[in-house]
Amino acid sequence: MKALLQDTGERIIPPKEGEVSFVYERHKFTYFFATQYVENKQVLDVGCGTGYGCKILAEKAYFVYGIDYNFDALKYCREFFSAPNICYSQMDSNCLSFGKSSFDVAVTFQVIEHMSDVNAFLRELKRVVKPGGYIIISTPNRPKPLRSKSVNPFHENEMDFEDFQDLMETHFTIFQVFNVQYDSNNWFRTIVQGLPIYKLGIHLKRKSPVKKIANRMLNLSKFKVTEKNCESAMDFLAVCDNS
């Protein structure tokens, strides 16, 4: 029986042939960025979701351990993104069942905003990663104007650049915060994104011709990592030394 996942709009399900998902492309890009840190390493993916990221990391890593709390998501992982050097396991991210210094690298992408106690979560990551290893974290930039409560019902907390920078400084001596943004400037995209009708795009189906046209005209699925203009990032991306 094939694994089926409900598309809630929050868990990233890889698009099928003929479909377009801008969010998936952005998240996939972050995993490819992380591959430069994982070659021949023991890697932990905390909140691995549907497993496509583990498969990307496993192309270079010695071994990847993907954990998620959702049983159905893990079933999907094993069916569609298995490999000899990947192991998936159901686990609470706030209480990892690993000994101290078990991994060379830990990645956790688009997860920390779901945690009610981000400090406890980071302490747990630091515990299971070896001294001098890397912890790589991504989270979405909190929309402006800032609201007292997130419009995303799945998020426990959201951070702007200052919040994220302060959190990293609390836990790491050596770290660097990058931002994920579109690969190139597009004046037409800037205009369209400012229009009220642009927000209606989230309701378009993945096979929508409108979505495909928008992708070509607005260049919505190509990204880059930069240190500049972090306040205007789509996502923040921190690379932290666990020294």
pLDDT for res 6: 63
Q: Spell out the per-residue pLDDT of the chain, length 243, in tens.
A: 455 666 555 578 888 888 878 889 999 999 999 999 999 999 999 999 999 999 999 999 999 999 999 999 999 999 999 999 999 999 999 899 999 999 999 999 999 998 889 999 999 999 999 999 999 999 999 765 445 455 555 656 889 899 999 999 999 999 999 999 988 887 666 776 676 766 656 667 777 777 777 777 777 888 999 987 677 788 999 999 999
pLDDT for res 144: 59
The string of pLDDT tens digits covering residues 79-101 is: 999 999 999 999 999 899 999 99
- Domain boundaries, given as residue ranges, for the chain: 22-184+223-241, 188-218
CA angle 29, 30, 36 (to 5 degrees): 100
Instruction: Give the 3-state DSSP-derived string for the chain, with helices as H, strands as E and coil as C.
Output: CCCCCCCCCCCCCCCCCCCCCHHHHHHHHHHHHHHHHCCCCEEEEECCCCCHHHHHHHCCCCEEEEEECCHHHHHHHHHHCCCCCEEEEECCCCCCCCCCCCEEEEEEECCHHHCCCHHHHHHHHHHHEEEEEEEEEEEEECCCCCCCCCCCCCCCCCECHHHHHHHHHHHCCEEEEEEEEECCCCHHHHHHHCCHHHHHHHHCCCCCHHHHHHHHHHCCCCEEEECCCHHHCCEEEEEEECC
The string of pLDDT tens digits covering residues 51-61 is: 999 999 999 99
pTM, 2 dp: 0.87
CATH of domain 22-184+223-241: 3.40.50.150
pLDDT for res 47: 95
pLDDT for res 100: 97
pLDDT for res 55: 98
Neighbouring-strand partners of residue 178: 237
Structure tokens at 126: 């630091």
Residue 172: partners with Cβ closer than 8 Å, 6 or more residues away: 135, 240, 241, 242
pLDDT for res 230: 73
